């Protein structure tokens, strides 16, 4: 190359090159400014947004279910508790040869193939580092078996969790109820932050009524997770608040006495503390074992319970409806006195039957020959039907209805259990509305002895008895005595019901008649009155399950058990200062005095003896 030309050119080139360097610098600065602007946008303008996303990314809230409150009886005996249960779990990630491990476990516990299949299904849904249950509830034997061979099963472990347990099995199943797995319908209705992570919910009884108190408050752990969801460490933990403990007014020992006394009969016993309304006994026989319901009862077992002739799932004390029979008589008698249709000394002749004028039908007395001349006291003591036919006729159905209604007949008692029935207290208005028929006078007559349309539940009958014993101050039965929360003790509101107006001497006559039922030679329940230092006031009842034809004779031993009369008994004691009121219904028990009264007698005696001893 020509050097002169080259040098000249070099200067031009140099100048061009420097300009290009400068242009490149400008370009670089401009582009870098773009980066800076974008960084400012992300890190200042968008910071809050991205910081939130970053938190959500890495922090997972895990609910910590609270321990459910414990249910005690009035003496602090546990009716519902939380027991540890052991679950065999496998962590796929830590198991080298899954098939081999499963095969050995299957052999060890003698597992059916379905369980293994179930496990495989579950495994597909879960992440490798999440544990999967193989055996949901291990027996002590299974625990021992596994404990020995544990070193040969890496990645297999036993996890403990809490399971609701009812130590008294069928004894108080209808009162305490049970918890069961939350179903989908319930899940939709549950308040969500509180029930996050919850698996069970009260389905029946106290467990259901007081679900909100028993459940407690779900806590949560903020757990840092990585992108696969593996938990790394806990950042923050809000501890769950355990559910409130609930103390029932129920006396489980007394309940056992009543339940056992019902023996092979189906029936119900309700006992109420007269002064408070606290329910001491709430027995329905047969009961059922609530424990299988907690872990999930099998289809067959449930079917067996549901279709059993004796209907163990049926809460007779709460929902059973029975004609009150003669147990209604003290109330009808009081109505007669209050409405001044009868007076205490007045007597009435009982020939053994009663007829309405101009009607052929004979309304028979249970005693074929009649009771002769009876006053109100004797009419109650001997349960003279004729006296009450006559009295009912004099009162008329409307007055009878109005008076009995004050004692809570035909109404729910408002006890703290779901599913109570209101029973039926008949009136012409009711018959017109329901049956579109007019009321007949004959129906008034049989209403006077607690037959016909009148239907009561055992708890209703017990409440009416307690109200009577309480001199007309209406008793409202309740089961929960107090709720003990970490913050303090909640007592149920002291209910001061209205007082039914009644004259003291009228009540004395009724009480006298009822005392004689138990304590006089003519009494229908005299067998239970011996050897006690106080008096029991009671009234037997025998309610027909089916109608006896005119002229036919009712013979207990000859007819089928299923067709035998229901035996009833109501009582309170001590008569001079009533503390306990009891109602007993024994299905197909026959006569109230011989079957139902002894059960009430046992309950009253045990209660008053305990009361005296303490």
Partner 1 sequence: MKTETRREHFQPSSMIGKLLRKLHIDIPLFLCLFLTALLSFVILYSSGGQDMGVLLRQGARVGLAFLLMTALAQVNPMQFKRYSAILFGIGIFLLLAVLIMGQIGKGAQRWLDLGFFRFQPSEMIKITTPMMVAWYLAEHHLPPRPKQVLIAGVLIILPTLLIAKQPDLGTAILVASAGAAVLFFAGLSYWFIGAIIGLIGASTPVIWHLMHDYQRDRVRTFLNPEADPLGRGYHIIQSKIAIGSGGIYGKGWLGSTQSELEFLPESSTDFIFAVYAEEFGLFGCFGLLALYMLIIARSLYIASQARDSYNRLLASSLAFTFFVYVFVNIGMVIGILPVVGVPLPLISYGGTSIVTLLSGFGILMSIHTHQKFSIA
Residues found near partner 1 in the complex (CB under 8 A) = 9, 13, 16-18, 20-21, 24-25, 28, 31-32, 34-36, 38-40, 42-44, 46-47, 49-51, 53-54, 57-58, 224-228, 232
| Smallest distance from partner 1 to CB 127, Å | 14
- Is residue 594 among the annotated active site residues? no
Which is catalytic among the residues 284, 326, 383, 509?
326
For residue 373, which phi and psi values (nearest 5 degrees)? -80, 120
Going by the DSSP 8-state scheme, the letter that residue 280 receives in this structure is E
Backbone angles phi, psi at 316, to 5 degrees: -65, -35
Give the C-alpha separation, 137 to 295, whole Å: 9
Distance CA 355, CA 363 (A): 6
Identify which of residues 25 and 522 has a Cβ nearer to partner 1 in the complex. Answer: 25
Pairing of strands 362-364, 353-355: antiparallel
Nearest to 251 by CA among 272, 274, 275: 272
Measure the CA–CA gap between 69 and 81, rounded to whole angstroms.
8
| Cβ at position 192, least distance to partner 1 in Å | 25
Are the CB atoms for 401 and 426 separated by under 8 Å? yes
Which structure tokens are listed for 109?
């516990």
Q: Which is nearer to partner 1, 41 or 152 (CB)?
A: 41
**Cα–Cα distance between 544 and 558 in angstroms, integer?**
15
Name residues whose C-beta falls within 8 Å of residue 361's C-beta, 6 or more positions apart in sequence. 355, 442, 550
By the 8 A CB rule, do 592 and 568 touch? yes
Q: What does the block give as tokens for 355? A: 């007829």
Residue whose token pair is 């006078």: 441
**Cα three-residue angle 324-327-332, rounded to 5 degrees:** 100
Q: Whole-number minimum distance, CB 229 to partner 1, in Å?
A: 10
d(CA 327, CA 329): 5
Radius of gyration of the chain (CA): 38
Minimum separation from the CB atom of position 166 to partner 1 (A):
44
| Alpha-carbon span 576 to 172, nearest angstrom | 31
Cis peptide before 574 (omega within 30 of 0): yes
Query: In which residue are the tokens 């006394």 written?
Result: 261
Which has the closest alpha carbon to 242: 78, 482, 68?
A: 68
Of the candidates 446, 477, 444, 482, the residue with the CA atom closest to the CA atom of residue 462: 477
**Separation CA 371–CA 215 (nearest Å):** 59
- Kindly provide the residue ranges of all beta strands, DSSP E only, lying in 368-430, ordered along the sequence: 372-374
Cα 306–chain centre separation: 17
Kindly state the smallest distance separating residue 15's Cβ from partner 1, in Å.
10
Q: Kindly state the smallest distance separating residue 248's Cβ from partner 1, in Å.
A: 50
Q: Please give the C-alpha separations between residue 112 and each of 72, 76, 108, 120, 134, in angstroms, as whole numbers.
A: 39, 43, 11, 13, 11
Strand 480-485 versus strand 372-374 pairing type: unpaired
- The CA dihedral of 254, 613, 167, 257, to the nearest 10 degrees, is -20
Of 18 and 304, nearer to partner 1 (C-beta) is: 18
Query: 57 or 199: whose CB is closer to partner 1?
Result: 57
Bridge partners of 401, per DSSP, are none
Closest CA to 198 of 210, 185, 216, 174: 216
Peptide bond into 47 cis (omega under 30): no
Report the distance separating Cα 459 and Cα 131, nearest Å: 49
Active site residues: 326
């Amino acid at each position: 190359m020509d050097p002169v030309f080259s040098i000249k050119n070099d200067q031009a080139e140099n100048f061009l090159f420097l300009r290009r360097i400068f242009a490149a610098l400008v370009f670089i600065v401009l582009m870098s400014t773009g980066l800076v602007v974008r960084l400012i946008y992300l890190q200042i303008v968008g910071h809050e947004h991205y910081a939130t996303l970053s938190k959500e990314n890495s922090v997972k809230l895990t609910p910590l279910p609270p321990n459910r409150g414990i249910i005690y009886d009035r003496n602090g005996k546990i009716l519902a508790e939380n027991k540890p249960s052991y679950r065999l779990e496998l962590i796929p990630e830590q198991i080298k040869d899954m098939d081999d491990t499963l095969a050995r476990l299957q052999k060890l516990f003698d597992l059916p193939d379905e369980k293994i299949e179930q496990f495989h299904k579950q495994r597909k849904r879960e992440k490798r580092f999440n544990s999967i249950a193989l055996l949901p509830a291990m027996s002590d034997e299974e625990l021992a078996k596994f404990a020995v061979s544990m070193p040969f099963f890496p990645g297999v472990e036993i996890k403990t969790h809490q399971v609701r347990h009812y130590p008294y099995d069928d004894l108080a199943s209808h009162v305490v109820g049970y918890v069961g797995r939350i179903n989908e319908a319930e899940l939709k209705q549950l308040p969500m932050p509180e029930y996050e992570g919850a698996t069970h919910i009260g389905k029946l009884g106290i467990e259901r009524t007081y679900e909100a108190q028993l459940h407690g408050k779900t806590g949560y752990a903020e757990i840092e997770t990585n992108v696969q969801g593996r938990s790394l460490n806990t950042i923050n933990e809000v501890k769950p608040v355990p559910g409130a403990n609930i103390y029932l007014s129920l006396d489980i020992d007394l309940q056992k006495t009543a339940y056992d006394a019902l023996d092979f009969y189906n029936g119900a016993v309700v006992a109420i503390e007269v002064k408070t309304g606290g329910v001491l006994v709430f027995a329905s026989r047969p009961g059922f074992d609530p424990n299988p319901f907690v872990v999930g009862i099998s289809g067959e077992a449930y079917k067996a319970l549901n279709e059993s002739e004796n209907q163990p799932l049926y809460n007779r004390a709460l929902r059973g409806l029975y004609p009150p029979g003669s147990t209604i008589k003290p109330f009808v008698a009081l109505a007669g006195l209050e409405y001044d249709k009868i007076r205490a000394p007045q007597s009435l002749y009982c020939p053994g039957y009663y007829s309405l004028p101009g009607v052929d039908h004979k309304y028979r007395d249970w005693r074929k020959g009649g009771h002769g001349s009876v006053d109100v006291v004797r009419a109650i003591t001997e349960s003279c039907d004729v006296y009450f036919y006559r009295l009912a006729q004099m009162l008329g159905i409307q007055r009878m209805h109005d008076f009995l209604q004050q004692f809570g007949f035909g109404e729910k008692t408002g006890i703290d259990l779901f599913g109570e029935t209101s029973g039926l207290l008949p009136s012409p208005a009711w018959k017109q509305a329901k049956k579109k028929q007019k009321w007949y006078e004959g129906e008034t007559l049989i209403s006077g002895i607690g037959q016909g349309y009148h239907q009561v539940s055992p708890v209703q009958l017990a409440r009416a008895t307690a109200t009577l014993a309480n001199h007309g101050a209406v008793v409202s039965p309740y089961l929960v005595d107090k709720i003990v929360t970490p913050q303090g003790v909640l007592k149920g509101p002291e209910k001061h019901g209205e007082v039914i107006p009644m004259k003291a001497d009228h009540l004395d006559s009724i009480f006298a008649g009822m005392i004689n039922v138990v304590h006089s030679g003519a009494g229908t329940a005299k067998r239970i009155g011996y050897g006690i230092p106080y008096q029991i006031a009671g009234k037997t009842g025998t309610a027909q399950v089916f109608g006896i034809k005119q002229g036919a004779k009712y013979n207990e031993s000859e007819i089928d058990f299923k067709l035998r009369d229901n035996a009833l008994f109501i009582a309170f004691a001590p008569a001079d200062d009533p503390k306990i009121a009891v109602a007993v219904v024994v299905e197909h028990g026959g006569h109230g005095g011989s079957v139902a009264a002894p059960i009430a007698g046992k309950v009253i005696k045990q209660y008053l003896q305990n009361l005296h001893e303490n």
